Structure formats: structure tokens, C-alpha cells
Structure 1
Amino acid sequence: MKDYGLYFHIPFCKSKCRYCGFYSILHNEETEYAYINAILREIKTYKGLSIDTIYIGGGTPSTLKLQNMKVLLEAIYENFVINLKEFTVEMNPESVTEDMLKLLKDYGVDRISLGIQSLFDHVLCLLGRVHSSFQARRAIEMILNYGLELNSDIIYDIPTANHDFTLNTLEILTNYPIKHISAYNYSFDTDFLSEYKNTDAETFFNDVIDFLYSRGFLQYEISNFAKNGKVSKHNTKYWKMQDYIGFGISAHSMMNGEDARIRWCNKGTVEEYIKGQYIIEKYEVPIAECFIEDVVFGIRMVDGVNIESLKSKYGSEVVEDFMKKIVFLKDENFICYERGCLCLTRKGQLYLDSVQQYFWDLFYS
């Protein structure tokens, strides 16, 4: 039986961060209760699936009332065949509590992804985050004291913020027994700070990679660094094009078939989702297009995309023709070939979006 990954989108936040482009709404207890019931309804349509990874994200899942979180966790165990390898829940520092951590651990959660972003109050204030550096450190200690694995999210190139604050944040974090750090570049999904797009991204990016490497963290994906092999098993499914099902509004899903890949997304608002009036936007990705998806997503991984595996799935002629067309990227040091894999160089990682777009344009030209 095939094992799936499950993703649950909890769209509630205590406040909306100024830079955030993810779908979320301000927390409301009445809406929360109705929304969880709507997720239970959707869960039943996939009853009996075998699953090996679970990720509850948002939004801020830790804003949920304990009882509602318990109802969701119980429904997962009641409706799916559990072969669990990893169970992650996103939390923000201000909503980490002993009671929530105990509940999560009791139901098999073994990994917390904590939205820290910075450990300096003036930077957090700039971003519109509602937690303080003290709350972040306290949350880290509570999570580790519960014996849970911890991923810490940071943003490494926040416009107008001195780069030293990023490196100092990493210095503090790596003094804890944390084994995973996600370091993201600032996203201009909103207009906030959009006038400051000309930051020294290359220096910042290289500094972060080099610093984390010096502390024993190996980069395994563009934005993700792990110590002692503690990679995110669930997120790796996305990059390796493995099957996953998303629940909740704005959640995405993907299933591989013999002749096509099926993708779908729950589109609409929280209110429409609760009423069952949302749109399930579904489309098939032809097998020929699956090839370029495998490359575009897989190249995010530092190990790259195995060329022989591509040939086995899509035919030698398709792969070799593509390789001839991307010689320019190799000549310009954006890509390289290592251990039989197509990989990004450090320069290619810095220009990931452009490299991926180049691949898409080649495929459709």
C-alpha cells in the first residue's frame, strides 16, 4: 500500500504579519470550531489511506483551542492507516504552552516548526510579529524540554535590518541542541518594504550557508539545513514529487498515476469552506510535463535530480535532448553534474527562480 503525506491548513493567526502572503485570517473561536468540523468532513472522503508523514501548518495551528486540536488529532488516527515516520506541527512562540505540547506529544507529534524569524525585538516589531525574543527563547526551551525535535524558521535578509542581527540570531539558535533550521529570504508577497529590494542577497545567502556549515548544519535544500541527518521527511515529499493530500482551505494535493499526475487545490474563503461551497480546482499534468516538474522541484534539493532515474521514467531521448539545451547554464556556472545528478551550484541556488523559469521556458518553447 502506498504511503501518503497529509497536510492540514489551519488559517488562523493572532495578527497578520506585514510581509506574509499566505492565506490566513484573524483568529475567532466560533469560526475555529466550525472550521475544524469542516476539516473532519473532508477527512472522511479519504478514509483508509495509509500515511507516513503529517504536517499541520498555517496560519498558526497553535492558536487552536486544546479541545479542537484534540478533535483533529483523534480524527486523523481514526480515519487513516498510520505508518508514521514524522509528525510536524507549526507553532509561533507566543502560543506555545505546556498543555499544547503535552497534547501534541501524546498524539505522536515528534517535531515542532517554530516561527522565530529573528531573536531581536526591534526586527520582530518591524515585521509585525507579535512575539518577543524572550518568548521565542522560552518557547525553544519548552519544546526541547518535551523531547521534541525542533525546526526554527528565520528570515535572513530582512530589508533595513542589519545583517549582523541575522548572524547573531543564528549564533544564539545554534547554541541550543536544535537539529534543523529553515533560513528563508525575505518574500515581497506584499508591498511592505518593497522599496528596499536591492539588498546584498548574495553576501547574506553565502554568510548563512557558511555559518551554519561551521556549526554542523548541512544544507540539503535551498532554504533548509539539518544536523545529524534530521531532514524534514514531509517537506521532502514535495521536492521529490511524492503523493500528498491537503486538507482545509487553500491546501494543495498531488497524486501520481501511471499516465498523469493529478493536482488539486481547495479554493475559496474560510466561510465557503465551512459551508462546503468552496471550489476544488483539479487538473491533470500529462506525463510529458511531469518530467519538467520533476526537474524544477527536484533541483531545489542540494543532491539534485538523478539523471538515470529521469531516463528510466521518461526515456533517454527526452532527457538527453533537455541536457543539450541547458549547456548554457553549465557554462555560466548555474548548474553542475555531481554523482550522476543534475544540481545547482551555489550561484544557481542564488538565482533559483530564474533557473527554474529557464527550464519551464525551454520545455514549452
Structure 2
Amino acid sequence: MTAPAAPLPDQVVRHLYVHVPFCPSICPYCDFHVLTRRAGMVEAYLARLEQEAAELAGQYDVQLDTVYVGGGTPSFLRDAEITQLARSVQRHLGWGGVENTLEINPGTVSADRAALWRDLGFTRASVGVQSLHDPTLKFLGRTHDAQQARRAVQTLTAADFRVSGDLITAVPGQPLEADIHGLVDLGVGHVSAYTLTIEPGTEFARRGVTVQEDDERAGFERTEELLSARGFTRYEVSNYALPGQESRHNLAYWHGRTYLGLGPGAAGHYPAPAGRGLLTTRRTNPHLHDWLTGAAGETLPVDAVEYVTDALFMGLRLREGLDLRALAARSGVDVAARYAAVIERNVRRGLLTLHGAQLRATPDGWWVLNRVVAEFLDEDG
């Protein structure tokens, strides 16, 4: 059921993720590769970033549509530092012709800084609002307050950014309805809403903070009700947008496109070397200390079957789901035949729908998506 020579997808790389690991403080729920800055560290990071950008430019055919600078807190970089970062990327890899996103902490925003970010070519701002309720922000360990968050969104909107607001749901005592209506009233065109998750090794885990599943599910469902009533479409499990405001960069992830990862801890999905029987390669850079020395990261070759299961996991997160015929053409795997039993079983359970070749997760399926995808993996043994 696997064709001997599948077409290699996305040999031209059109998407870039840049990781900035520095934060003013570490939130108690955060398990990303982040750290507070020390003397000389940002300078060393920026010098190595330029080297790595040049290396990637020499290895791949790069014609960027989107750039996403995340972290960490990229907006925590000083003006000269974020300028140096942007210029390094632009010099070696170009700049996104469709969308360039900067993750922003509300406490770092001013009119002058917003103007600088726009002048550097950023067009979209992903703002870590998390809540507009001061006690909730304090519980989450955020360094900004609700008024700063409101001012930040207003300032960025006035500077002609497309603004996305992040929210965390299922926080004890959080006024979810007020948070959502307040954020929409500020004029954002996109909302990313994530359930509070307690990850091992975080400060919340050490303190024994827990989130009840009933609260998670209630927040998951109520968020969609409230945002749908305000004209937002849930186009992905955790992401909502007004028409035309979807994240072009994140859609590339969910559609299984190749992308470069630049910076410590950054992950990338790269075209595979020709002639090795692979479709793509996934690579994750080492953390800062080793990355600064030029150490190699973890590389995982992706064959046709792994490519398909990755595509199922990512594509089923989308409201539109994925086209099994198109996936078969890209991978060389007869997806519908290979996983017929899994698909039929989950359709009966009300977790998936299949219309023609279009496979989608239902709202109930989204809630247990990891379990559904695990069944596809089990089918491969």
C-alpha cells in the first residue's frame, strides 16, 4: 500500500520560525526553552543566529511567505537587538511576503516601539494577553496587568498590525466571558485560546496546581460559544479568526508544509536529501549553551508512513480536516485503505466524519484528538 517513489513535497521552503529564548521572568506554567538574560548572552545569541541563518541559506532553496518570531519574549529584546535580528534574517533568508509575526508581551509595548516593529517589516502581532482580569494574571505569574494589556492591543491596532490575542482558559476564578468579550471589544481579529495545562517540571507542577477535566471541557466549549457569537470561526482546535484573519504561518504547520527553525530549541520540518527514500526531515536545535557552540540538534528522518501520521495529527486539528486523496498523492500511501478500520470505527463513535475524501474531526473528536491519532499509530504497529 506504499508506493515505491512518492513525490517529495515542498522542496522550496516558504516558512521560517525564529526562537528568542529570553524572558523578563519565567511564568509558572511555562515549559518552553526560555531563560532570563545575563550579561553578554543576547549578544552571543544574535551573533550565532546570523551564522545559522547563513548556514540555512546555503542548504535550502528559501523563498519565504511567512516568518514567525516567537519565544520566550521577542519583544523583550531592546530596539537595537530586535533590529539586528530582523536584519540578519532578511540579509540571509529574506522576509515573508505574506505575513511576518512578532510575539509580544503587553508590558513591552509603546507607540514608538510598535512603529519600529512595523518599520522592520512585522505585520502581525501575537499578544500574550492571557486574561483581562488582574487576579487571574497574578495567579498566572504574568508581569503585566489588565490595563497594560488593553493599551498594548490598542497601540498595536493603531500602528496597523493585524492583532491576535492569546487567552488561557480553565484558570480558577477566571471570568471567561468578560475576558473574551473584553478582548474582542479591543478589536483583535484573531484569538488563540489554550486550556491551562500543568506540565511536569513547571513551577505549577511543583506547587501541586491542578486543573479539573470538567473545568477544561467547560472552558473549551464555552470559548467557542462566545467567540462564534461575535463572528469568529474556530478554524483550528485552539484558534479563532474573523474572515481573512487566520494565521498564515500556523496554517503551514497544520497543512504539513516544510519550514526552517532558527535559534536555540527551534524545531524545523525540512526537505529531505534526495535519494534516501524519505519525504522530509524533522530537526530540533539544542538549547542555548550547546547551540552557541554550533552543536548539532536532534534529527528525525520522516518516511512516507510517518509523514502520513504527522499529517493526520496536524490536519485533524483544522476545522476543514484534510483531503485523503491529496495526502495520498503527496506521500505515496493509500491513506483511506491503510486506515479504513480506524476511520470507520471513529466515524461510528462520532469522533470523525468522512465525506468523499475529506476527513474531519468532530467537536467531540477534537476533545480526544490525541487518543484518536494514537489509534492510527497503533494500526502501524
What is the 5 A alignment of 1:202-351?
Answer: 202-257=217-272, 259-260=277-278, 261-268=280-287, 270-276=288-294, 278-314=295-331, 317-338=334-355, 340-351=357-368
Does 1:361 find its partner at 2:369? no
| 1:138 match | 151
User: What is the deviation of 1:35?
Assistant: 0.8
Corresponding position: 1:58 with 2:75: no
Distance in 2 (alpha carbons) for counterparts of 1:313 and 1:75: 33
Count of residues in correspondence between the two structures: 359
Deviates more, 1:78-87 or 1:177-186: 78-87
SS of match in other structure, 1:128: coil
Q: What residue in structure 2 maps to residue 182 of structure 1?
A: 192
Asked if structure 1 preserves the Cα contact closer than 8 Å seen for 2:150 and 2:186, the reply is no
Question: Structure 1 residues 139, 218: CA separation in 2 closer, same or farther (over 3 Å shift)?
Answer: same
Aligned partners of 1:24 and 1:59 also within 8 Å: yes
In 1, Cα distance between equivalents of 2:323 and 2:349: 21
Question: CA 1:20/1:81 → structure 2, altered by over 3 Å: closer, same or farther?
Answer: closer
Question: What are the ranges of 5 or more consecutive residues in structure 1 without an aligned counterpart?
Answer: none
Is the 2:304–2:332 Cα contact (8 Å) retained in structure 1?
no
Instruction: Mark the CA change 1:315 to 1:264 in structure 2 (over 3 Å): closer, same or farther.
Output: closer
Residues 1:9 and 1:127: Cα distance change in structure 2 (over 3 Å): same
* Deviation of the 1:16 alpha carbon: 0.6
Q: Does 1:171 align with 2:194?
A: no
Deviation track 1:342-361 (CA, whole Å, cap 9, x = no partner) reads: 11101011112222222222
Q: Percent identity?
A: 28
Question: Which range moved further: 167-176 or 91-100?
Answer: 91-100
**Contact kept? 2:100, 2:124, Cα under 8 Å:** yes
Q: Is the alpha carbon distance of 1:170 and 1:29 closer, same or farther for their aligned partners in structure 2, counting shifts above 3 Å? A: farther
Q: Which amino acid aligns with 1:274?
A: L
Q: Work out whether 1:47 is the aligned partner of 2:57.
A: yes
Post-superposition offset of 1:319: 2.4
Give the match's secondary structure for 2:40.
Answer: helix
Aligned residue type for 1:359: F
Residue equivalent to 1:95? 108
Which residue does the alignment assign to 2:35? 25
Between stretches 286-295 and 134-143, larger displacement belongs to: 286-295
CA distance in 2, matches of 1:61, 1:315: 40
Q: Distance in 2 between matches of 1:332 and 1:17?
A: 39
- CA separation of 1:81/1:125 partners in 2, compared to 1, >3 Å: closer, same or farther? closer
Match of 1:118 in 2: 131
Corresponding position of 2:8: none
Instruction: Give CA-to-partner distance per residue, 1:222-272, whole Å, 9 cap, x none.
Output: 00001022110111111111111011111011123464211111113x233
Q: Check the 8 A contact 1:296/1:359 in 2, yes or no.
A: no
Q: After TM superposition, give the deviation of residue 145 of structure 1 in Å.
A: 0.8
Pairwise CA distance, 1:32: 1.1
Other structure's SS at 2:339 match: helix
Map Cα deviations across residues 69-107 of structure 1 (whole Å, 9 max, x no partner): 111111122112445100000011111123321221112
**1:159-196 deviations in whole A, cap 9, x for unaligned?**
x224xx11111011111221100011112113155433
Unmatched runs of 5 consecutive residues or more in structure 2: 1-10
Using a 3 Å threshold, how does the CA distance of structure 1 residues 45 and 241 change in structure 2: closer, same or farther? same
Give the letter for the 2:267 counterpart.
Answer: H
AA in 1 matched with 2:50: L
Q: 1:319 to 1:313 in 2, by over 3 A?
A: farther
**What letter corresponds to residue 215 of structure 2 in structure 1?**
D
Deviation at 1:201?
2.4
Q: Closer, same or farther in 2 for the Cα pair 1:352/1:249, shift >3 Å?
A: same
Report the 3-state secondary structure (helix = DSSP H, G, I; strand = E; otherwise coil) of the residue aligned with 2:297: strand
Structure 2 length-normalised TM: 0.89
Q: Distance in 1 between matches of 2:126 and 2:335?
A: 39
CA contact (8 A) 1:10 1:59 kept: yes
TM-score by length of 1: 0.93
CA displacement 1:270-311 (0-9 Å, x = unmatched): 2332233x3321121111221111111111111001022123
